[in-house]
Structure 1
Amino acid sequence: MNTQNEFSKRYSFEFFPTKTDAGAEKLLATAQQLAQYQPDFFSVTYGAGGSTRNRTLSTVIDAQQNTGIPTAPHLSCVGDSKEEIIGLLDHYKANDINRIVALRGDLPSGMGLANSEVRYANELVSLIREHSGDHFEIEVAAYPEVHPQAPNFEQDLLNFKRKVEAGADAAITQYFFSADSYFHFIDRCESLGINIPIMPGIMPITNYSKLARFSDACGAEIPRWVRKQLEAYGDDIESIQRFGEEVVTRMCERLLQGGAPGLHFYTLNQAAPSLAIWNNLSLSERR
């Protein structure tokens, strides 16, 4: 098994921008709670076609200024012109933001890729590098279980390699529940000469019905034995969360022991589920 032990372990937490001022205050409190654990960075998502642009902007700046933790905006290219993207880059640079998560992004309803000036994530990475040089550390997405729109695993790997060759510094994976899928992906990446840190994306299990819908949509596989056990709990939220915490913690232990360079938690704007997993990991495993 190939690993990425040469990189020091790092940890990060992801949020999504809220729709109200009250929600923003609650999210900031969550960020401040997580900041006590000194993560390497926070990240904030960006809606399809930039639909949450203003909220993403304000959330990123508020989080970084109020917690002292470097905060990375997600930046998607589909639906935005080059001029709009460059304007966002300049705005972030002026506000001391030095990390970006560069994504193709989801297509707004009724829009095709042909309508975009920048169509793919590797083109976005190239644009960021051309305009901003090395100011931004660029994270990109990786898909151990294959992007849902990719024709096959081999093509998806080549798409990922293009993003790395365009100038990506590191990657964050789509969440998964099988450590084997991550390790297989790492082995294949290394066989292609890809050696950037690839952070496993970790999704705490707190609500089975929502997780199942989202997983089906984004192509993340829930192992059959996990799905069947969660189904058996029905509406017993406490049992679902307890079982989910155990399953995800064990996977994280295996990932870290196997050489994963850290963990990226999809918090869903809640501190407790991610921290429950974090606190279950021994100090030696987290280092």
Structure 2
Amino acid sequence: MKLTDIFKVSEKTFSFEFYPPRDEIAAVDFGLNIGQLIKLSPSFVSVTYGAGGSTQSRTFDLVDYLKNRVGLNTVAHYTCVGSTRSRTLEDLKTLRKLGLQNFMLLRGDPEVGSKYGFIPCYDGFANATELITFAREFIDDCCIGGGAYPEVHPESPSAEIDMRNLKKKVDAGCDFLITQFFFDNKRYFDFVSRARKAGIKCRIIPGIIPLTKYSQLERFVNLSRASVPPAFLEQLESNRYNPEAVYKAGMDFAIRQCRDLLMLGAPGLHFYTLNKSRATVEIYQTLMVR
């Protein structure tokens, strides 16, 4: 089922992102965790695509498994990095043959070790807008999602330019957007308001990542440029050597964040699970009970 059809009948959706396990040991752990998450009956799940297609075969295998064996509404990520137009067409057709109708089309991160940032390959795509335009021309009967940054794309010179680029992406054929994770809900709602004023009408689903370890703080903030509310940051800093206290603080914050988002009108939640189930299951069950 296309996500656009799900959106027509579901005011709010709950979804999870996975990435392909890197080895057999990780695959066993993933199997245990995904079993717990599947029990929550997500509206859909998405599967990431490694830089430069580094996890392509594993991505396609996992997408096939989740879609055709588990029976989940599955979204396949696909990126511009390292992909020519001919290869992209072949890959998208392969995914369609697996029964996939839903795609997250992204520019993607630069290849590992790149000193010069993102560089389009010969006969490739400069950005997600070009990739989406291409997919709309050659792939029939599909639903396309894109990424969005409530606190501005790290490479964008300004919020205004970032919003103009986002509008171009949506106009190229983007049916929905999923945001990068954030910790300040006001940033999300301000972003949605600016997007609506810019003429963007599609569903904008907030991305959520529970911060449950102190070691995650710097990595997550550097990855997304997300601002952390001072009171929450102080809680984490003061308990940095107490893993249990950090976990509790992170979970309490994530539950409040998710509840507030839903109460104030967010059209659902998309959890970046990191292939772990505990935090997401606890948040989901708490929200459903209350």
**TM score, norm. by length of structure 2:** 0.91
Amino acid at match of 1:123: E
Match of 2:179, SS?
Answer: strand
Q: Deviations over 1:149-190 (max 9, x none)?
A: 110101111111111101111010000011100100011011
Cα separation, 2, equivalents of 1:22 and 1:261: 36
Cα separation, 2, equivalents of 1:30 and 1:114: 36
Amino acid at match of 1:77: C
* Alignment-derived partner of residue 167 in structure 2: 161
Q: Deviations over 1:176-206 (max 9, x none)?
A: 0111001000110111111100000000111
Matches within 5 A, 1:231-270: 231-270=237-276
* Alignment-derived partner of residue 180 in structure 1: 186
Instruction: Pick which of 152-161 and 53-62 moved more.
Output: 53-62
Amino acid at match of 2:18: F
Instruction: Pick which of 193-202 and 23-32 moved more.
Output: 23-32
* Alignment-derived partner of residue 150 in structure 1: 156
* Alignment-derived partner of residue 57 in structure 1: 60
Q: Does 1:88 align with 2:94?
A: no
Structure 1, unaligned stretches of length 5 or more? none
Matches within 5 A, 1:65-80: 65-80=68-83
For the Cα contact (< 8 Å) 2:80–2:120, is it kept in 1?
no
For the Cα contact (< 8 Å) 2:152–2:162, is it kept in 1?
yes
Instruction: Pick which of 19-28 and 101-110 moved more.
Output: 19-28
Cα separation, 2, equivalents of 1:106 and 1:159: 17
Cα separation, 2, equivalents of 1:67 and 1:29: 14
Amino acid at match of 1:202: I
* Alignment-derived partner of residue 3 in structure 2: none
For the Cα contact (< 8 Å) 2:84–2:121, is it kept in 1?
no
For the Cα contact (< 8 Å) 1:126–1:166, is it kept in 2?
yes
Q: Does 1:191 align with 2:191?
A: no
**TM score, norm. by length of structure 1:** 0.92
Q: Does 1:30 align with 2:33?
A: yes
Match of 2:11, SS?
Answer: coil
Instruction: Pick which of 207-216 and 177-186 moved more.
Output: 207-216
For the Cα contact (< 8 Å) 2:209–2:271, is it kept in 1?
yes
Match of 1:113, SS?
Answer: coil
Deviation at 1:25, TM superposition (A): 3.6
Match of 2:109, SS?
Answer: coil
Q: 2:287 aligns with which of 275, 281, 284?
A: 281
Cα separation, 1, equivalents of 2:96 and 2:45: 17
For the Cα contact (< 8 Å) 1:173–1:199, is it kept in 2?
yes
How many corresponding residue pairs?
280
Q: Does 1:129 align with 2:173?
A: no
Q: 1:48 aligns with which of 47, 51, 61?
A: 51
* Alignment-derived partner of residue 100 in structure 1: 103
* Alignment-derived partner of residue 20 in structure 2: 17
1:5/1:280 CA distance change after superposition, 3 Å: farther
Cα separation, 1, equivalents of 2:73 and 2:32: 16
